[in-house]
Copies of this chain bind each other. A is one copy, B any other.
Amino acid sequence: MFDLGQAKAGLAARDTRAIAKTLRAVDDREPWIAALFSDLHGKLAEHRQKAHVIGITGSPGAGKSTVVDALIAHYRALGQRVGVIAVDPTSPFTGGAILGDRIRMRGHSLDDGVFIRSLATRGALGGLSKSASDSVNVMLAAGFDVVLLETVGVGQDEVDVFKVAQSVVVVLTPGMGDDIQAIKAGILEIADVYLVNKADREGAHKVVSDLKSMLTLMPHPDEQQLPPVIEAVATEKKGIDTLAAALAQHLAYLRGAEAGKKREERRLIAAFLQLFRNEAVWQVEQRVGGGLDAASLRVARGEDPYRVTAEMLATLFR
Interface residues of A, Cβ cutoff 8 Å to B: 34-35, 37-38, 41, 45, 59-61, 63, 65, 88-94, 98-99, 102, 121, 123-128, 151-160, 162, 176-177, 179-180, 182-187, 189-190, 219, 221, 265, 268-277, 279-281, 283-285, 287, 292, 295-296, 299-300, 302, 304-310, 312-313, 315-318
B41 touches A158 (CB 8 A): no
Picked from B157, B177, B271, B283, the residue with its CB within 8 Å of the CB of A156 is B157
Instruction: Given contacts A34-B309, A41-B306, A89-B185, list 12 more A-B pairs with CB under 8 A.
Output: A34-B310, A37-B306, A38-B307, A59-B61, A60-B183, A61-B183, A89-B159, A93-B219, A128-B156, A273-B292, A273-B296, A280-B313
Interface centre among A37, A91, A295, A313 (most CB of B within 10 A): A91
B45 with A302: CB separation less than 8 A: yes
Question: Known contacts being A155-B152, A280-B284, is A296 close to B309, with CB within 8 Å?
Answer: no
Instruction: Among B60, B89, B317, point to the contact of A283 (Cβ < 8 A).
Output: B317
Copies in the complex: 2
Q: Known: A93-B189, A302-B45, A307-B41. Contact between A127 and B156, CB under 8 A?
A: yes
Interchain residue pairs with CB less than 8 A apart (27): A38-B306, A45-B302, A59-B59, A60-B180, A63-B179, A92-B159, A93-B219, A93-B221, A98-B186, A102-B182, A121-B159, A125-B126, A125-B277, A127-B127, A151-B155, A152-B154, A152-B155, A155-B155, A156-B157, A272-B299, A272-B308, A275-B306, A276-B295, A276-B312, A276-B313, A277-B285, A280-B281
Indicate which residue in B89, B156, B162, B272 contacts A183 across the interface (CB closer than 8 Å).
B89
Distance (whole angstroms) from the CB of A6 to the closest CB of chain B: 19
Give the residues in chain B near A124, CB-CB below 8 Å.
273-274, 277
Determine the chain B residues whose CB is within 8 A of the CB of A302 once the complex forms: 45
Is the pair B269, A89 in contact by a Cβ cutoff of 8 Å?
no
Point out the residues of chain B lying under 8 angstroms from A45, CB to CB: 302
The 3 closest A-B pairs by CB, nearest first: A89-B186, A153-B155, A126-B126
Residue in contact with A89 in the complex, picked from B155, B273, B315, CB distance below 8 Å: B155
For the complex, give the distance between the alpha carbons of A190 and B90 in Å: 10
Instruction: List, in ascending order, chain B residues with CB within 8 A of A305's CB.
Output: 268, 271-272, 275-276
Cβ–Cβ < 8 Å partners of A279 in chain B? 309-310, 313
Evaluate contact between A88 and B272: CB separation under 8 angstroms.
no
